[in-house]
Structures are given as C-alpha cells and as structure tokens.
Chain A
Amino acid sequence: VILLGEFEQVVLLAILRAGDEAYGVTISREIASCTGRDPAPGALYTTLDRLEGKGLVTSRYGDPTAMRGGRAKRYFAVSEEGVRAVALAQRGFQRLLKGLSLPGLARA
C-alpha cells in the first residue's frame, strides 16, 4: 500500500480532473479552482516528479508550441496504481467524515 500525503492526493485528483489536458498549468488551475489555494510551482513539480518516481503517474512530452517559445508541454496521467492509491486514501477520509456534521459540508 502506497501512503499518500495530502498534497499528493490533491495533485492526483487534479490530474484526473484535467484528463487528457493535464500539464503543469492546467493541473495548477484545477487545484486553485477547487481548493482556493494557488500551488507553488516548486511544490507542484517536485510532487509530480515524486509521484512519477513512485509509479503513480506517467508523463509524456507533447509537441512544441509557439506560445510557449517552442517548448513542449509535459502531459501527466494517473496510472492504475495511482488511481487505487488515491481511492484508498479518499475512502479513509470518507470514513472519518461519516456521521459528522460540519459547517458548509453536506452530512456524509
């Protein structure tokens, strides 16, 4: 079982939400829009590298685009193992929330 940190879960979920267009900018945008926190690029990219090292995400380079000064995008996708790990971690959260009534959160 691969244990995930909180930010690792956030990043994995953001990649899943961004789908085929998951690269640095869109992942950062997803995190900011869903959590209200703008991730620091340093934290985001080192986390992505770490997740790739653990085999939880895969990456590939796209074609260079003029808008980015001819630089390619690095697209990320969550591996099957990554999906399992994030689902397991989220089940833990759901169990903890079960029966709790928190302000601004629907009763689980």
Chain B
Amino acid sequence: LTLPLTAALLGTLIAGTILYLLRRGHLYGSQAFWWLLAAALALGLGLWPETVDRLGKALGVAYPPMLLSVLAIFAILVKMLITDIELARKERRLRRLTQKLALLEYELRKDADAAAVGSGAGPQSDRGDARSNRRAG
C-alpha cells in the first residue's frame, strides 16, 4: 500500500459510513449537514492528500500534517459544543414535558373522579367532594 491509497481508502470508508447512516435516517437536520460536510472533506483529503501539504506550505506550517490534526481537533471541539447545547435544549424540553404530563394526568384523574361522583352519588362537581368519595369508595 502507498500513502495516497491508504488515505483514499480511509477517506472513502468514513464518507461511505456517514452517507450510509444519513440514508438510513440515523442522522438528521443540522447534524446531517455537518456530517455531510465531514464526509466530503474526508473523501476530498483521501483522494488528494497533497492538498494538506500545499495548504500547510501556504500557511507557513513547518510540518503540514500537524495542520490537519489541529483543524480536526478544533472541528471536533466545535461539534461537541454544539452537541452539548442541543442536549441542554433537549433536557429543558424533557423537563417541561415531564411536568406537563403530570399536570395533564392530574386533570384527567380529577375529571374521571368527578364523572364517577356524578354517576354515583348525584351531581357533585366540587373537587373536595370527588376526593371524599374516592376515600369512601
């Protein structure tokens, strides 16, 4: 194996995996866009690894592969940050939803109790009456 071939194989493998996951619907929305970009970069750098050397020289980096590593780490950090922001948003929604579920469940129960009282011991709509009926029954 030569270096260009190894790079091309690795790049294609990463890009292929991402594209497969996208097609299967395991990635979606803005995540999908981010990973599509990552797949394109992996494929591009795999097919034309000399791009890194050229870019390194242009930016005055003595050892061009380091440039790739630094950029990759930076990209991973940004991605992780975005993931955590998204997680916090999801956590907030989950907590709101949990509270809402409890509130709605309470109202359902109250209505069911009121209905039970209404059909059983005559017309009583007060919550307190519903409760005492439940205790008695």
Q: Do A and B bind each other?
A: no
Chain B interfacial positions (CB closer than 8 Å to A): none
